Amino acid sequence: MARVLSCIQPTGEVHLGNYLGALRNWVSGQHNNDVFHGIVDLHALTVTDTPGVLGQQTLQLAAILFAVGLDPQIATVFVQSHIPEHSQLGWIMECTVSFGELSRMTQFKDKSAKREADFVSAGLFTYPALQAADILLYDAAEVPVGDDQRQHIEITRDIALRFNHRFGDTFVVPKAVTPPTGARVMDLQEPTNKMSKSGDGEAGIIYLLDDPAAIVKKFKRAVTDSDNEVEFDRERKPGVSNLLEILAAVTNESPTSLATTYTQYGKLKQDTGEAVAEMLRPIQARYHELMSDPAELSNLLALGKERASKVAQATLARRTTRLVSTQASSS
């Protein structure tokens, strides 16, 4: 089985788009590959500076990942800061990548421009070096990413190839792969925009921990159009199509066939809201169960930490051996 690495930052609440678009595929994929899922809290330091918040959000996200179905006996779920080798290898990566390469990263340009009036940390600039360490530390052969992250995988490959050329074969050179297609979930109030933590309003976002009544209410208020014709057409009817796609993802039917069963928007909104609320009910129950039992949650994370540490320590030891042997032979 191929080793596959996927990571997620503990910033903001997990929403329906995260679940139907990615996390549900993580759950099904754990049976097909050797999967490592990291909660990258060190990366979150570039955007979070309130004391105590990051630690709590990390635990909440861990509980969500287990609640949606990641099995700690199968999938390696770990917290980045629990594995000191991330920071250790991160420094080596910083010494292997050039200033010019980091300067060309589009995400740094975009994010720093948005924070022009605020504090822009050096960590945001060197972010790709630590991300390269995250990937290379676990000998990941595949990293599922969207188009916005492909540049980060390319720089990771460049760093790995450069290190291997200088010091001998040390790191597995990963490849970016297109993740399995998940449901396309749009904002309920702005159906031409993806559902996002950074959206303009709460009314268009369904959070995994929303109360069932609140979920149904948000769907009832979803933006559609004025002609009241239920048809799956993303271009002409983005709001209706979004509802159909969400309902299809929950019921494992096609949006086109579902469209033929509805003649009114109200009924479609009601059914979609109720279906989503019902789908999330066991996830919410398991989440609250874990959050009320910190010892159990810690035990589950300890399983992942043990497996991740074993791989990380072996990789770092291999890197150290290469560096020392190369230096000794050149002296």
Q: State the catalytic residues.
A: 111, 194, 197
Side-chain-side CA neighbours of residue 117 (13 Å): 0
Q: Which of 228, 100, 3 is CA-nearest to residue 108? A: 100
Q: What is the DSSP string of 170-224?
A: -S---EEEPPPP----B-SSSTTSB--TT-S-GGG--BTTS-HHHHHHHHHT---
Question: Residue 71 in contact with residue 40, Cβ under 8 Å?
Answer: no
Question: Residue 205 in contact with residue 275, Cβ under 8 Å?
Answer: no
Question: Residue 62 in contact with residue 103, Cβ under 8 Å?
Answer: no
Cα–Cα dist 206/203, whole Å = 8
Q: Which residue has the tokens 């059914």?
A: 271
Q: What are phi and psi of 15, to 5 degrees?
A: -120, 175
Cα angle, residue 192 at apex, residues 188 and 198 outer, rounded to 5°: 65
Output helix, strand, coil percentages for the chain, rounded to the nearest 5. Answer: 60, 10, 35
